[in-house]
Amino acid sequence: MATLEVSRVVRRVRQRLGLSQEGLARRLNATKGAVQHWERGRNQPDLARLFLLRGLCPPGVERKEVERLIRQAQSKVAGMPSGQVRGTEGAHRGGLEPGSEMLARENARLRQQVARLESANQRRAEQLRILEDLAAHLQRQVAELKAEKIGSEEVPKTLSPAAAG
């Protein structure tokens, strides 16, 4: 199936379900932007989301189209022509599961993303600690200034009676 047909199928399924792009995105654990890209043909949903989409589809033409998309995606993962992939049984090559290379690349990409997020989280935690220290320091300075102001206001009151006597 061509990219244009993938976009048409995703749009038809969404409309048949009566969902907005955001609603479909929530059900597929995707972003609204991802659904927009699928419907515009900029990219395609992954195999896991196609399975979720098939689960949402009521029996009918749209479901059959989604199943064709699933077979097409499986054939890309297995490296076979789309007509040869019917299911996952018997698709082993050289002891590796079909798509294991793709899964390994995705796993590596996700590990890098987790590492970047952890690094960003550590930087933000350090920034938060610095800001908390600054806030505590400023609070101490404000308290000291208030104490000085109160102390300077009391001095003239004590001097006034002595000056009067």
Q: Where are the chain's structural domains?
A: 3-86, 99-165
Q: What pLDDT score does 26 carry?
A: 93
Q: What pLDDT score does 36 carry?
A: 93
**Cα separation of 13 and 23, whole Å?**
12
pLDDT in tens, the chain (165 residues): 455 488 899 999 999 999 999 999 999 999 999 999 999 989 889 888 988 999 998 888 889 998 998 888 888 777 655 455 444 444 444 445 556 777 888 888 889 999 999 999 999 999 999 999 999 999 999 999 999 888 887 766 555 555 555
Asked: is 3-86 a CATH 1.10.260.40 domain? The reply is yes
Q: What is the pTM of this model?
A: 0.47
Compute the chain's Rg from CA coordinates: 32
**Cα separation of 62 and 11, whole Å?**
10
Whether the CA torsion 90, 56, 53, 17 is positive or negative: it is positive
**Cα separation of 47 and 74, whole Å?**
7
